[in-house]
Amino acid sequence: MKKPEAPKEPYKSTKKTPQLLRGMRDTLPKDDKYWRAVYGKAQELADAYGFGRIDTPILEEASLFTRAVGRQTDIVEKEMYVFEDKDGEKISLRPEATASVVRAYIQHGMLNLPQPVKLWYWGPMFRHDRPQAGRFRQFTQAGYEIIGDDSPVADAQVILVAYKFYTELGLPVNVQLNSIGTAEDRTRYKVELVNYYRANRSKLCDNCKVRLVKNPMRLLDCKEEGCQPIKENAPRILEFLAEESRKHFMSLLEYLDELSIPYFLNHTLVRGLDYYTKTVFEIWPEPFTPKAEPVAPVDAGPGAVLSVSGAVADETPIVIKEKEPKEAEEAKMPAQVALCGGGRYDLLVEELGGRPTPACGVAPGIERAVQQLRMRQLAVPEINKHELFVAQLGELAKRKALVLFEMLRLEKIPAAEAFSKGSLKFQLEAANEKKIPYALIIGQKEVIDKTVIIRDMDSGIQETVDFQKVVSAVKRKIGRE
Ligand code: HAM
């Protein structure tokens, strides 16, 4: 059957089409099945683990993020969309949602609810970053926050939720983990770190020279090649943890072992937001990391912690999985592929004016998850998988076909149609192209007889049934009874 001919000359307009902004993207129907699968999983896990849904506005006072995320972070310093609104108020498109969730927690008196309060969200975030693969200026995050629980079991649950989010979608991932201790731990650590980096100052990149003065913890986040050997040999924060932070971390590792969640200790993982305390982690897609297999226990290298200390548990050694040397890893990893990031933020509620309240959370980036699903061609449920095509010929038939379509919809039988088309040939061809097994055809004769033709699109065999009985007849055919 010949298709209607496309116009030969491409349409030329004198008007310019406005273009998509840099770093922004449209999500088209062809990708919808991935987004639905990912949203479905995010919601399913939220329900299963008892997270209540929260939605906060996209616009917030800019100072919320300056205070929460930190004035000297890349996010606030370089990437935040800030502008004055018509009232002269300095507002910001949210670069992340943890700060907003904590603001809402305080503002709605959730401190008075039974603790912990577990909240989840889904929505767009904005960072005016340099666009590149997997990095957009508007992107979507899901997020899970547990507020009001200082126990490492909360950290473990947050990691578990994020881990299951990926693995249950079929994505092999691993967890990279570190503890950056309390503010006091870091004060002690930073003295050593700064001394060490000062001794290597001449070899540092320009950015690191600034970090050394302004925000020494960020030295460990440097991606410049020249700084890597210095970073690798830097003092390790795990060695500077006080007993309490150390116990917290050890206990978290035990929970993860119990849950069989593979993890790698990454002593340079500090995260790009200032609100973190103790646990920090990221989840990475497996192929970009050196090894899928958890490795054997390592010997006690600098910073490695090999046994549970003090009152935490018995003397069972903890298996610490170390990463391969940094050089090998960096070679295989494109920039910016962390699928999600999170950690504990015990000081944030207090920082934003609430009663001191410990908390932890995680935020998976959704575009990166969708990208992984597509890249690996992982199966996700098809949407709108039509089982019937409603075809019509003539004005009266079209009216009946509209009614029939409604009858099918009420029975939740997905049907396709082309009501704007008059040619039966075209409609049947469309049904064939979409591989729809049955067409329901109404022509003038069927209108008069109050019948419908059911056509098996494979064999071409047709039968005529009473209009009122057609729904139950097709239900039998497609096995819906
Ligand atoms: P984050 O690491 O800044 O953490 O972002 C979390 C995830 O959002 C990243 O791992 C990545 O998948 C995605 N993401 C970040 N920036 C972009 C971008 N420009 N384009 C595409 N995807 C991006 C946070 O936002 C924290 N609020 C996480 C958290 C929740 N910590 C505690 N609770």
Question: Residue 390 Cα, ligand 1 centroid: separation in angstroms?
Answer: 45
Please work out whether the CB of residue 152 comes within 6 Å of at least one atom of ligand 1: no
Residue from 56, 135, 137, 141 whose mutation best tests the ligand 1 pocket (most atoms within 8 A of CB): 141
| Tens-digit pLDDT profile for residues 197-254 | 999 999 999 999 999 998 899 899 898 999 999 999 999 999 999 999 999 999 999 9
| Tens-digit pLDDT profile for residues 74-116 | 999 999 999 999 999 999 999 999 999 999 999 999 999 999 9
Question: Residue 338 Cα, ligand 1 centroid: separation in angstroms?
Answer: 8
Q: What is the pLDDT of residue 53?
A: 98
- Please state the rounded mean pLDDT for residues 456-465: 97
Please work out whether the CB of residue 219 comes within 6 Å of at least one atom of ligand 1: no
The verdict on whether omega for the bond into residue 116 sits within 30 degrees of 0, i.e. cis, is: yes
- Please state the rounded mean pLDDT for residues 122-128: 98
Is the pLDDT reported for residue 165 higher than 70? Answer: yes
Q: What is the pLDDT of residue 4?
A: 60
Q: What is the pLDDT of residue 7?
A: 63
Tell the residue nearest (CA) to atom 18 of ligand 1: 135
Give the whole-angstrom CA distance, residue 457 versus residue 389: 10
Q: How far is CA 172 from CA 44, 164, 175, 227, 258, in A?
A: 19, 10, 10, 30, 19
Residue 145 CA, closest ligand 1 atom number? 33
Question: Residue 340 Cα, ligand 1 centroid: separation in angstroms?
Answer: 6
- Give the residue, 378 or 327, on which the prediction is more confident: 378
Residue 272 CA, closest ligand 1 atom number? 3
Cβ atoms of 166 and 287 within 8 Å: the answer is: no
Q: What is the pLDDT of residue 292?
A: 41
Tell the residue nearest (CA) to atom 12 of ligand 1: 365
| Tens-digit pLDDT profile for residues 408-457 | 999 999 999 999 999 999 999 999 999 999 999 999 999 999 999 999 99
pTM value is 0.86
Q: What is the pLDDT of residue 336?
A: 53
Please work out whether the CB of residue 274 comes within 6 Å of at least one atom of ligand 1: no
Cβ atoms of 99 and 69 within 8 Å: the answer is: yes
DSSP characters over 85-143: -TTS-EEEE-S-SHHHHHHHHHHTTGGGSSSPEEEEEEEEEE--PPPBTTB-SEEEEEE
CA dihedral 331, 335, 340, 342 (to 10 degrees): 90
Question: Residue 112 Cα, ligand 1 centroid: separation in angstroms?
Answer: 29
Q: What is the pLDDT of residue 333?
A: 37
| Tens-digit pLDDT profile for residues 3-45 | 566 667 888 899 999 999 999 999 999 999 999 999 999 999 9
- Give the residue, 327 or 263, on which the prediction is more confident: 263
- Give the residue, 301 or 228, on which the prediction is more confident: 228
Residue from 21, 77, 96, 218 whose mutation best tests the ligand 1 pocket (most atoms within 8 A of CB): 96
Residue 336 CA, closest ligand 1 atom number? 11
Please work out whether the CB of residue 145 comes within 6 Å of at least one atom of ligand 1: yes
Q: What is the pLDDT of residue 215?
A: 87
Question: Residue 266 Cα, ligand 1 centroid: separation in angstroms?
Answer: 18
Question: Residue 341 Cα, ligand 1 centroid: separation in angstroms?
Answer: 6
| Tens-digit pLDDT profile for residues 178-197 | 999 999 999 999 999 999 99
- Please state the rounded mean pLDDT for residues 328-344: 66
Q: What is the pLDDT of residue 133?
A: 84
Q: How long, in residues, is the chain?
A: 481
| Tens-digit pLDDT profile for residues 363-421 | 999 999 999 999 898 889 888 789 999 999 999 999 999 999 999 999 999 999 999 99
Q: What is the pLDDT of residue 10?
A: 85
Give the whole-angstrom CA distance, residue 282 versus residue 341: 4
Identify the CA nearest to 102 among candidates 472, 274, 357: 357
Residue from 103, 125, 147 whose mutation best tests the ligand 1 pocket (most atoms within 8 A of CB): 125
Residue from 340, 362, 370, 373 whose mutation best tests the ligand 1 pocket (most atoms within 8 A of CB): 340
Is the pLDDT reported for residue 142 higher than 80? Answer: yes
